[in-house]
Structure 1
Amino acid sequence: MSLKINPPHRAEHLGSLKRPQYLLKKREELDEKKCTTEELQVVEDEAIRAIVQMQREAGIKTITDGEFRRHMFFDGVFDNMNGMKYFPEASLHLFKDYVPDTSAFKKLSFKNAATWLCDGKLSRARPFYVPQFEQLKALTTPDEHPRLKITMCAPEWYHLRHGEYAYPKSVYANDEEYFADIAIAYQQEIQALYAAGCRHIQFDDPLLAYFCAESMISGMQEAGIDPDAMLDLYVRVYNDCLKGKPADMVAGLHLCRGNFKDGMHFSEGGYDRIAIKLFQHINVDGYYLEYDTPRAGSFEPLRFLPKNKFLVLGLVSSKLPQLEDPEELKRKVRDAATVIANGEEKRTVEEALNQICISPQCGFASHSEGNKVSEEDVKRKLTLCVQTSKQLWSDA
């Protein structure tokens, strides 16, 4: 990218936040047909007002709705497309064994799983996230509207998980045709979000981090699939989805290795294997990277970060209630800045620091139940990010 994008606010969070019990109870009532969608929305609004206020009190400037209107973080895209069919109990043979999370579920003796599969030509049947953005606008103040962030499903979500079962050959002859229609849908959604006033989107993509895992690389090779060619395909897909994105709309990309119930993760491995393609070939403005445990590897891959992109270091765990040491957080940020400064594009440590922000390593509730942290734990974690950022950057 030729355009230099300033980083978002120095202390970020990744989107999903801890849902209160009364919201979970009301959503359960909806599932049991004991309440209406309109009655659920009243409760969602109440919960979102409270979580927005919590973000304000913690000092977080980039505000989300906590993904409180979703069951899973990846909801919103494929369930709003023509040509997709929902399978509440799909056979596990439709899920690829080399994908770390599907492999984990199979080992847990799951008999089947819910999923969406393409059964016709894909198109955007209705807005994906515009209603959620509009509803968040209605619950925030006008001066906050430019700072509202919407998180989005990764475009390759069902393709990697299902391989040759992702779409029928009678509909699409190859992956390029399949993704061409998906890209058009994303382009339409991004333009609609922009027209609604959204200036910050974030793709949530644990699948790209799976390409760091030797287990998936070897599994794909055993299945006769070239993992490098597949990653190249996904890079092109992202760039196609982002075609026409307005210059003043920030697009970020979040990678993690799993954040399921109780913080369960699915893969391990540093960013080394994908660093050049991730940082230099995907046309996003910045990256939100998991870095709270050794499973994410070292900072060395950051040497490939260009000067015109920002980096949000996920140094704070969203899985555990214990607070991190702020001095240790600051040391890690400086260590990362040193690696970036001495990287492929030389720059000063100060310049590198100005590309960095800090955050939790993932959201606090990728699924509706969330991790084993309380709402107060979430506030303390976000406050820690803000306080640490103020000590590192005078303009935080």
Structure 2
Amino acid sequence: MSPSLKLSPPFRADHIGSLKRPADLLAKRSDLDAGKCTAEDLKPLEDKAINKIVQMQRELGIKSITDGEFRRHMFFDGVFDNLDGMKYLPDVPLHMFMDYVPDIPAFKKLVVGKTGSSFICVGKLKRTRPFYKDQFEYLKSITKPEEHKNIKITVCAPEWFHLRHGPYAYDKKVYANDDEYFADIAQAYREEIQDLYSRGCRNLQFDDPLLAYFCAESMIKGMTEVGVDHEALLNTYVKVYNDCLHDRPADMNIGLHLCRGNFKASQGLDGRHFSEGGYDRIAVKLFHEIDVDCYYLEYDTDRAGTFEPLKHLPKNKVVVLGLITSKFPELENKEELKRKVHSAAEVIAQGTEKRTKEDALNQICISPQCGFASHSEGNKVSDEDVKKKLALVVETAKEIWTDV
């Protein structure tokens, strides 16, 4: 094994971040949304739920610790809603949402009238307050000092609203071009990363369905039809990530999670996906040009393609195979999971940088393909389903590797 390879974190048996929220917490959050209670009223229920979910992770043998994203409404909350210059608008005209983005057509079917809500940049972007400090500090307060390095904070993709809104993402009187806009976003992320690091955070995960959208032929076709250079835009986003991670702490694990949609069941979409297509189109840029340590990749269905793109994985990086679905309660077959892990190792071993299968296997971890609740209301799985799924992750890892 290469001495520069980081294996922990991430751990052999990992999970993406969001977990199933209890019913009383969801009810109280609904009261908050309706103006029937305050955030202070909600916090004790959040604390109680987080305490319980952290203990569950310990009992199952999941060493990476998250708060289940129980303080969030959506997985991407935290950055742009706390960034000066971004404004929440409840009535954004629908033409300002780009139809080529795979989830936008479904979004437009769900909104009532001719507008939808979103965040738009209306002023200079600046980080004047922390994004995730309180979430990290609470996890520190309920975990042992030796566990602090295992706490995982999940963060929003820096290009989230830019892809969704295209030319309408920011006021042209504020920023003349994408370079200016993203320069201030990258500065905000660098400040947040340094702040989290100073507090003891050593495990950070970007949640980014958007990069996987570049694997979808539907988006590439849609961009081409309206004159958007998809290759140039992907290059822009790669640069944004590297600018966000410029001067990143060397001993801070940075992960990048890609998925293809995990929409909330309550809106009648039953945890559906929005895009299809293997990682082949973006694999070289993903593995070689983005300065992260590990990749959490969806691989629970055929829509993610084959393991063939893993042939581009460098020797000093880790891939976390999302082989277990978080969308439905049915359990995967453990022997089949083990077979898939070994199949992926064979592809990596025979890849562009040859290595032994044993070395390749040491670059692999496993997890669910996504969180169990990208939206607060979650997928159609019960608490017991979540436990069984995570237990399966741990059991499978223990039968493949000895360092679990």
Match of 2:66 in 1: 64
Match of 2:56 among 54, 57, 63: 54
> Any residues of structure 2 matched to 1:314-393 within 5 Å, and which?
314-393=322-401
1:257 to 239, 256, 260: 260
Deviation per CA, 1:301-338: give whole Å up to 9, x if none.
00000000000000000001011100000000000000
1:121 alignment partner in structure 2: 124
Q: Which residue of 2 aligns with 1:42?
A: 44
* Unaligned 5+ runs, structure 1: none
Query: For this pair of structures, how many residues does the alignment match?
Result: 395
Superposition map of 1:175-194 within 5 A:
175-194=178-197
Residue type of the alignment partner of 2:325: S
Tell me how far 1:191 sits from its aligned partner: 0.2
* Cα displacement (A) at 1:171: 0.7
Q: 1:158 aligns with which of 137, 156, 161?
A: 161
Tell me, what secondary structure is at the counterpart of 1:71?
A: coil
In 1, the alpha carbon distance for the partners of 2:277 and 2:240 equals 23
Once the two structures are TM-superposed, the CA of residue 77 in structure 1 deviates from its matched residue by 0.3
Q: Give the secondary-structure state (helix, strand or coil) at the position aligned to 2:365.
A: strand
What is the correspondence of 1:102-121 to structure 2 with a 5 Å cutoff? 102-108=104-110, 110-111=112-113, 112-121=115-124
Corresponding position of 1:306: 314
Superposed displacement of residue 10, structure 1: 0.3
Per-residue CA distance 1:334-363 (angstroms, 9 max, x = gap): 000000000000000000000000000000
Cα deviation digits, residues 266-290 of structure 1 (max 9, x gap): 0000000000000110000010000
Q: Give the 5 Å matches for 1:85-96.
A: 85-96=87-98
Using the size of structure 2 for normalisation, the TM-score is: 0.96
Q: Secondary structure at the match of 2:254?
A: strand
What is the alpha-carbon distance in structure 2 between the residues aligned to residue 108 and residue 296 of structure 1?
A: 26
Matched, 1:237 2:245: no
Unmatched 5+ stretches in structure 2: 265-269
- Select which of 12, 15, 18 maps to 1:16: 18
Q: Secondary structure at 1:265's aligned position in 2?
A: coil
| 1:143 CA displacement | 2.1
Cα RMSD of the aligned pairs, angstroms, is 1.1
Q: Which residue of 2 aligns with 1:143?
A: 146
Q: CA deviation at 1:32?
A: 2.1
Give the letter aligned to residue 370 of structure 2. C
Q: 1:33: Cα distance to partner?
A: 2.3
Q: Residue 304 of structure 2 aligns with which residue?
A: 296
* Aligned position for 2:293: 285
State the partner residue of 2:7. Answer: 6
With 136-145 and 16-25 compared, the bigger mean Cα shift is at: 136-145
SS at match of 1:263: coil
Tell me which amino acid in the other structure corresponds to 2:347. V
- Three-state SS of the structure 2 residue aligned to 1:100 is coil
Change (3 A) 1:374 1:270: same
Between the aligned residues of both structures, percent identity stands at: 69
Cα-to-partner distance string for 1:156-181 (whole Å, 9 max, x where unaligned): 00000000000111111110000000
1:51: how far off? 0.6
**1:221 aligned partner:** 224
> How far has the Cα of 1:125 moved from its partner?
2.4
TM-score (norm 1): 0.98
